[in-house]
């Protein structure tokens, strides 16, 4: 006896949204499996935040069938809101309250009673905020404020969480701490819908990635699948002197040379091409001071698909 697969946590068909004459989302389709991380990338103005606002019932779509946690965002908004949590681009914490007071306030708004107080203490411990719990949030670092913001989102134990650029402005250490938190949530079965301006973040966290540009999804897939969309790669050879660089440039012509850096960039980045390069260097007796292999990464994918170097977005549209 076979069992049918569990429904997707998020199902989107034909999502359309315009602001006046400006079309932001032009009929996009995607599914987000339960218990996974789905990352949405896009350049400035691509509509990432607008997508989050529609899926979380903060904006009404102009068209399409959108279901979150099995409920229609158009006709069952209350049920959707009870199933989700949202952490936006900008921290929602009250800096004139303590960390514990912020959490307790959200618990009271959700009418959690004693369970809310227990949940508050559990979250303070989970997010390593116990020692700072009774300090004003205005004294917290940026990373601590973002952790508290996410903890507030988790008070109601949502099954689906929307994280809209959750690590924007954080230092690398705080960003990696947030990554650990996200991985822990997913291991507990929570579904994460993530927008980010950091390609490394999507590569580290996402099970599936979608690239939004010009109101349409121009690509979807795993990080590995997207990287395969971009051909080639290159090997960079570093030399100790100009004579060795000259010898290598003749051996591997045409190749891109940098006389100031004493480097030669040769097309190819797979195992076969690297072996051929090393064999040729050995055969011609050319000494190399250093070698680096570059294979296509998400930055290359993003540039190839959108013509933009990075998906930085600071506006709601």
**Can you spell out the DSSP letters for 193-223?**
EEE-S-HHHHHHH-SEEEEEETTEEEEEE-H
Query: Is 155 in the same domain as 17?
Result: yes
Domain that holds residue 243: 234-295
Tell me: pLDDT of 309 over 80: no
DSSP state of 118: H
Query: Is 107 in the same domain as 186?
Result: yes
Q: Is residue 302 part of a domain?
A: no
Give the sign of the dihedral formed by CA 265, CA 300, CA 161, CA 86: positive
Query: Is 59 in the same domain as 165?
Result: yes
Higher pLDDT pick, 264 / 317: 264
pLDDT tens figures, 177-207: 889 989 999 999 999 999 988 888 999 999 9
Query: Is 194 in the same domain as 282?
Result: no
- The whole-chain average pLDDT of the chain stands at 89
Q: Are 234 and 266 in contact, with CB atoms under 8 Å apart?
A: yes
Single out the residue of 224, 187, 217 nearest to residue 202, CA to CA: 224
Q: Is residue 205 part of a domain?
A: yes
pLDDT band at 45 (very low <50, low <70, confident <90, very high): confident
Q: Is residue 309 part of a domain?
A: no
Residues, the chain: 317
118 φ, ψ (degrees, to nearest 5): -65, -40
Q: Is residue 114 part of a domain?
A: yes
Q: Are 209 and 39 in contact, with CB atoms under 8 Å apart?
A: yes
Query: Is 140 in the same domain as 54?
Result: yes
Q: What is the pLDDT of residue 249?
A: 93
Q: What is the pLDDT of residue 310?
A: 54
Torsion, Cα of 304, 307, 310, 316 (10° steps): -130
Tell me: pLDDT of 133 over 60: yes
Beta bridge partners of 172: none
pLDDT band at 3 (very low <50, low <70, confident <90, very high): low
Query: Is 223 in the same domain as 238?
Result: no
Q: Is residue 150 part of a domain?
A: yes
Query: Is 267 in the same domain as 158?
Result: no
First-to-last C-alpha distance (Å) of the chain: 47
Among 167, 195, 227, identify where a domain stops: 227
Buried b (16+ CB within 10 A) or exposed e, 259-268: eeebbbebeb
Tell me: pLDDT of 317 over 70: no
Looking at 154-254, list the stretches that DSSP marks H as alpha helix, in order from N- to C-terminal side: 172-187, 199-205, 223-227, 242-251
How many domains are contained in the chain? 2
Among 187, 211, 227, identify where a domain stops: 227
CATH number for the domain spanning 23: value is 3.40.50.300
CATH number for the domain spanning 270: value is 3.30.70
Among 227, 246, 264, identify where a domain stops: 227
Rounded Cα distance between 90 and 97, Å, is 17
Query: Is 215 in the same domain as 249?
Result: no
Q: Is residue 306 part of a domain?
A: no
Q: Is residue 35 part of a domain?
A: yes
Torsion, Cα of 272, 276, 278, 283 (10° steps): 160
Query: Is 289 in the same domain as 170?
Result: no
Query: Is 283 in the same domain as 168?
Result: no
Percent of the chain with pLDDT over 70: 94
DSSP state of 94: -
Q: What is the pLDDT of residue 311?
A: 53
Query: Is 222 in the same domain as 279?
Result: no
CA count, 13 A, side-chain hemisphere, 302: 25
Query: Is 215 in the same domain as 246?
Result: no
Q: Is residue 304 part of a domain?
A: no
């Amino acid at each position: 006896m076979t069992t049918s697969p569990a429904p997707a946590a998020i199902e989107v068909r034909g999502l359309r949204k315009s602001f006046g004459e400006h079309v932001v989302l032009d009929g996009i389709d995607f599914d987000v499996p339960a218990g996974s991380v789905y990352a949405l990338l896009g350049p400035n103005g691509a509509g990432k935040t607008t997508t989050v606002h529609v899926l979380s019932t903060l904006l009404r779509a102009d068209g399409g069938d959108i279901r979150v946690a099995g409920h229609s965002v158009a006709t069952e908004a209350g049920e959707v809101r009870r199933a989700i949590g949202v952490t936006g681009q900008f921290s929602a914490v009250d800096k004139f309250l303590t960390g514990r007071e912020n959490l307790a306030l959200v618990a009271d708004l959700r009418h959690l009673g004693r369970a809310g107080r227990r949940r508050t203490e559990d979250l303070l411990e989970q997010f390593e905020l116990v020692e700072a719990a009774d300090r004003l949030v205005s004294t917290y670092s940026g990373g601590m404020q973002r952790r508290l913001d996410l903890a507030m989102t988790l008070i109601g134990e949502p099954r689906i969480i929307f994280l809209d650029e959750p690590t924007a402005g954080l230092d690398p250490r705080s960003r990696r701490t947030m990554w650990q938190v996200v991985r822990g949530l997913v291991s507990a079965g929570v579904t994460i819908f993530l927008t980010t301006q950091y390609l490394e973040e999507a590569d580290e966290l996402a099970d599936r990635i979608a690239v939004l540009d010009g109101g349409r999804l121009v690509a979807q897939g795993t990080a590995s699948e997207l990287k395969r969309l971009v051909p080639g790669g290159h090997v960079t050879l570093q030399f100790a002197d100009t004579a060795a660089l000259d010898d290598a440039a003749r051996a591997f012509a045409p190749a891109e040379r940098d006389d100031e850096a004493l480097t030669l960039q040769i097309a190819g980045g797979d195992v076969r091409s690297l072996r051929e390069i090393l064999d040729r260097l050995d055969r011609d007796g050319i000494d190399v001071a250093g070698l680096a292999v570059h294979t296509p990464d998400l930055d290359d994918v993003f540039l190839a698909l959108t013509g933009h170097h990075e998906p930085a977005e600071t506006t709601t549209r």
